[in-house]
A and B are shown apart, each in its own frame.
Chain A
Amino acid sequence: MTPVGQGAVWTVLLVPILLGGLALGGASFARVLDARADGRRVTGAVLAAPLSATGRLLVQQRRAVVASDRLLARTGVVLVPVAAVLAALVVPWGNVAASDLSVGIVWFNAMEVVTWAALWMAGWGTNSVWGLVGGYRFVVQGLSYELPHMFALITVATGAGSLRVSDVVAAQDGLWFVVWMPVAFAAFLISALALSFAGPFDTATGRDVAGGVLAEHSGVDRLLLLAGRWLLLAAAAAMAVALFLGGGSGPLLPTWLWTVLKSAAVLGLLVWLRSRTATLRMDRFVEVGWMVLIPLTLLQALVVAVVVLR
């Protein structure tokens, strides 16, 4: 296949559109799963529910609690979707990357860590006990998933001998990384759910704390947080394709279509996992994260390093 190259400047504008489309697809699929569990028929209205919910939040009144730190809260709220789009800049679509940085993997990681601060700010700034608890829960969650996540990224970089995402895709010509780095792939999928505070990792926005970080946000603020969450999940799914599933490589179809199909498949898997699980208690997950996932991902990195050195 043709190697991934740096796209023209205008391709940066395509990133939010493509990412938004993927995120919307994921959100619609989640609604379909909800409707099936409810025993409702899956109609056009169910598929379009994320769009109509967006409209609803656009007209809804914004609100703020007395003595809330509005600047801090709104900075956090805006940062969530912005971080998602920035993270997706380095993800190649087909054989074009909007921004093929030499440190693309580190950039993705850094943008995703921005959401830690963003979510904490969005929670703390509302001057609500639920927001505060939710914000801190996300920091705890970050400490639990981040190291396995980083070791998974390091494994990929080691295998490719580069931190550039296009090099990673090129290195998978012939053998996808998922085949010989299954542990890293699994760790990446787990952290994809965790970094987008979705599904079993929704402690920051759980119903047990009345929505946590989301508890006091309404209107546009809420929309940005919810959309940001879906954008993050979509960005992580698209990144998983570039890092582990050979990017746009595949028979017959054009590379951009393979990217879309694979990203949609990974996103679908994540959404399905999200719907099938209960929220993981972080005091339990932190044990698994540090006692099981870190040793396993380290071992995976070691195996890959030995293979590369030989």
Chain B
Amino acid sequence: MDLMRWSTPRVLVVPVRAGRAVRLDVERLMRERGWESAASPADADLLVVCGTPDADTGAAVDRVWNLLGSPRARADIPVRHGVAERLDRARAELGDRPGRPSGRTSGRRRPAPGDRPDDSDDDTRTDHDGDVAGLPMAERAPDRDGLTLDRLHLTLGPVLPDWPAGLVVRLAVQGDVVQTAAVEVWGEPGGRWDGPPAAAALDSLARLLSVCGAATATRRARRLRDEVLAGSADPAALNRFARRLRRSWTLRWATDGVGRLDGRHGDLTGDATQRCRRWLDVVAGSPPVPGEDRTAAVLTALPGLLEGQELATVRVVVASLDPDLESSGTGATS
């Protein structure tokens, strides 16, 4: 499989609470090597789990792993030690795979109850009334205009690119409009993180920028974050970055008026644009606003902000609030 050895892998990064240090290392190495971050399991050939997942998250990761097409490889990186070697090994495994399993039938699996639908050929089983291929049809419910429409249940997280580690949001959607939203937190948090505030702000910004489709700015944010962590960041470069993003009208369009919270929310007050600007201020060198229970406030406010929004807006709302579950004291609520 020379072709695989020659090309750069596309990586589905799975962040786990308490796995921040590993994730930062993985993302830095990916950037340095030019490995791209995948947007979905179909897009990925390498699955990298950053940290030690709890049982629920581990099961979700396994289900996603089954969705990756061959050739594929997986790296479970529990601790920060030897990240580069583990990535190398997974990369080599990807290249060493014997020829492609013949055609698509090899990936054939039947859906387990409650499983996500995945590969399966000519599966037209209809044992149950109203079922298609053994999967239940969408139920119906009245929508906001009083019409009866199909309702679909959708779970965002814990395995989703540019998504806070450990966050799981269960949605009922009609079309792409969210009817109800319930927030859960999976896994146990790690210890407090005493990295520079600018690095934390850039880390959050990178997720927001990526969700907003600002691909180049995302890359730059991650690069600056790594430089801040390595202590080699140039203050002028940070200022330039912040200034440029403040001027970006396409970014402002993407965030204006999204996820607005009133004045009682301290650091979280305002819309996604204002929260983004606060991060940019921190990047440019001003001290961060000390937030007492920022994460808890986000988790409380989230369902109310998500209901009635479009799916795409959901991602921007979550990214602009970016609850820091990696080191927050909030225990598992699942």
Interface residues on B, range: 35 or more
| Segment at the interface with B among A108-116, A176-184, A249-257, A270-278 | A270-278
How many whole Å from A293's CB to the nearest CB in chain B?
Answer: 15
B240-255 Cβ-contact flags toward A at 8 Å (1 or 0): 0000000010110110
Contact A61 B43 (CB under 8 A): no
Contact B101 A61 (CB under 8 A): yes
C-alpha gap A206/B69 in the complex (Å): 21
Chain A 52-68 residues near chain B, CB threshold 8 A: 52-53, 55-56, 58-67
* Complex contacts, A61 vs chain B, CB 8 Å: 69-71, 100-101, 104, 106-107
C-alpha gap A146/B157 in the complex (Å): 36
Q: Does B8 contact A (CB under 8 A)?
A: yes
C-alpha gap A302/B122 in the complex (Å): 56
Chain A 219-240 residues near chain B, CB threshold 8 A: 219, 222
Partner of A214, one of B39, B100, B121: B39
Contact B42 A217 (CB under 8 A): yes
Contact A66 B34 (CB under 8 A): no
C-alpha gap A222/B40 in the complex (Å): 12
* Complex contacts, B39 vs chain A, CB 8 Å: 207, 210-211, 214-215
C-alpha gap A65/B104 in the complex (Å): 12
Contact A277 B250 (CB under 8 A): yes
Q: Does A33 contact B (CB under 8 A)?
A: yes
How many whole Å from B48's CB to the nearest CB in chain A?
Answer: 17
Contact B213 A59 (CB under 8 A): no
Contact A53 B7 (CB under 8 A): yes
Contact B3 A59 (CB under 8 A): yes
Partner of B152, one of A63, A129, A218, A280: A129
Contact A278 B223 (CB under 8 A): no
Q: Does B216 contact A (CB under 8 A)?
A: yes
Interface centre among B106, B119, B121, B209 (most CB of A within 10 A): B119
A interface majority secondary structure: helix
* Complex contacts, A40 vs chain B, CB 8 Å: 31-32, 34
Contact A63 B69 (CB under 8 A): yes
Q: Does B285 contact A (CB under 8 A)?
A: no
How many whole Å from B173's CB to the nearest CB in chain A?
Answer: 7
Q: Does B81 contact A (CB under 8 A)?
A: no
Contact A52 B7 (CB under 8 A): yes
Chain B 49-75 residues near chain A, CB threshold 8 A: 67, 69-71
A residues with a Cβ closer than 8 A to B are: 33-35, 37-40, 45-46, 49, 52-53, 55-56, 58-67, 127, 129-130, 133, 136, 200, 202-203, 206-211, 214-219, 222, 275-281, 284
New A-B pairs, 14, CB < 8 Å, besides A38-B219, A38-B222, A64-B120: A34-B34, A39-B31, A45-B34, A55-B6, A63-B69, A63-B104, A129-B176, A203-B312, A207-B39, A216-B42, A218-B42, A278-B250, A279-B213, A281-B253
6 residue pairs, one from A and one from B, having the closest CB atoms? A279-B213, A61-B69, A55-B3, A52-B7, A278-B214, A67-B133
